[in-house]
Chain A
Amino acid sequence: MRNNLSTGETSRDLPEEVSRFAEAWRVFKKNTPAVWGLVIFIAFFIVAVAGWFLTTGETPVLDPAKVRLSEKLLRPLSPVNTDMVEPGDRPVFGIYLLGTDDLGRDVFARMMQGAWVSLTVGFVAVGISVVIGIILGGVAGYYGRARIKFMHVLCFIAFFASMILLASGRKEPALDLFVTSLLLATVSAVYHYLAARGGAGPRPLDFLFFDTFSVDTLIMRFVDIMLCFPSFFLILTIVALLPPNIYNIMIVIGLTSWMGTTRFVRAEFLSLREQDFVSAAKALGLSDISIIFRHMMPNAIAPVLVSATIGIATAILTEAGLSFLGFGVPPPHATWGNILAGGERFIFDAPWLMYIPGFSILTVVLSFNLFGEGLRDAMNPKLRKR
């Protein structure tokens, strides 16, 4: 008995240690649609990067913005008309692979550029929402039990009100409130400094530092509030009121879609917080930042990855919907969404203008969704060992 436990003898009896990644991959590769999703995902990534290289620069190989009015609405694979088009304006290989649109622009070049822009919109939007989600969810899960002091609430309200007054153009009271909030912040900093140095016992101003609600309540109520907004309508409202700009769209989509990630991360953190390895890390004297990011986050990241993958798909669809309503990424940039929306007027004359971007979006979004679901199954511990 003792021998068995002590030396390398036992390692052969125990099942071989499999890394989490290998285990997930084993489950994942059995899921054929998900594997196809991954393949298309990678292919799309390569196309998008290639699209970025081929369509930018002084003299791009594929010029998505070149207008050739004599070459309107040509079918896919139609050759360029060499009598009308200057040699410098001709598409590569002298052929319009995917036809031309109503301004005679090469749809292939626009699709290549659009792949990159759509990918960027998806990744940046999801990046923003994941960062917000991880921070808020992590704070709610890890520090959730901490209570916010009344003074801090006061301080925040003063600061927030001053910002609003500033934005509405009333500078005088805004300044007053801002100074007040700074003053309150200083007072509470001094209070906490003294509290940390001095021992127990009552201090002046204690009546201003009673506990109110917990950090967890604050963050999760905010999540509830954000979930009450109809998301597409909210995005549409903000995007329509802001000046048209590709960055605004990414930011707005990101800022309105972090709630799911926050909930996942919080739920994972609530269960991880009670586990022994976290207590061990605390006992070793590691800093909170190190515990959260080095030790807890890797264990909580699986559902975040899944929801991020599906989030990219949703962001691409949202951008297409906004483009359709006329509030998508504005012109010089082509996205699959606005090529599709622009092709809508030629539905009977030039159906390829709709079908090419439409089926491209469908394929890519479908592959992201299938890949995401496969990932979810692969990382689900219930489905392992089957």
Chain B
Amino acid sequence: MDFLTFVQLADATVRMSIPLLLACLAGLFSERAGIFDIGLEGKMLAAAFFAAAVSFSTGSVWIGLLAGLAASLALSVIHGLASITLRGNQLISGVAINFLAAGLTVVVAQSWFKQGGRTPQLSGASRFDGLDWPGALTRVREIMTAPPPQQFYSEFISGHSILVYFAFLCVPASWWLLYRTRFGLRLRAVGENPAAVDTAGISVVGLRFTAVLICGLLCGIAGAYLSTAAQAGFTKDMTANRGFIALAALIFAKWRPWHAMGACLLFGLFFAIDNRFQNIQLHAIWIIVILVGLSALMTSYALRRDRIDVIVLGGFSALLTLIAIGMWIGLTVPGEVSMVQALWQVVKLPTQLIQSMPYILTVVALAGFVGKAIPPRAGGEPYVKER
């Protein structure tokens, strides 16, 4: 691995994590205000379609972005009406939005463009091009021959679309808004104890609607990024479950903005690794060390907890150790490869393992290994003023 590979990996990480980051921040606002939102996926999808469709029709990507935002906001209002005003179940409303978006985008696209649920390819001004910073090289093949500082500058700093820079600006902005303003304090309070907020004479419904609308806005940008910056056009189901991965990142980040960025970058890194190296090859000894190390960590953690933890995690550790030993023995061929030589055999790690890392990490987070992930206390419950 040379320097350029690292830079490119970092660059791909940024590209892969942007839609996650925007959707994750969207979910953060909504859930911090006590409205669970599993409709992130649907909002992104609707925004992706309308952004692509309108920017194709008008020739301006900015009008397209506005259309995407409008579509996402419209779905947010539906979610708000169902779960805040009508006090419905927030999860069901979210699922409904996902279904609605998945079906409607394809139907509208088919009747609009007659291309089987996709929009025509975008080009020129109807697409967010990468911003090329002064002096930066634009093509991968030119960058490959440049000196390292130029590689870093051209590949990592320059060449992203404006939405990427905006997404990273959103992180400190969200932090400031949530933790340094009166509005943020109230928003967090309404997710923890809406009755207290209500007693203070502040509108719970108003705050929650604001949060849901901010969520729609950010989802809209995420969707528009997918169809007009990352890709040149909308295709059926193009969000490919990124909304759900963003929710996983949100849980992993324990509903905090800076941590959300970390989680999204980490998940993005896994996707980038998966794209770059289809099969990862490692010496058997490293895999054994990782597996045994993991089981040792789990056992030591479990010993400080209840007996049930010892049984469950102990069993799991034993399983991992068994896999490690089994692999070691499996690699040993009597007469040809000795036990010691087997340690240096190259083993292919399947790409699926890397693909599933975000989900494994979320389960780890939920299981409480990295401190407890406590959702906002009033999350998922509609606020009823009087009982």
A binds B: no
Q: Which residues of A contact B (CB under 8 A)?
A: none
User: Which B residues fall within an 8 A CB radius of A?
Assistant: none
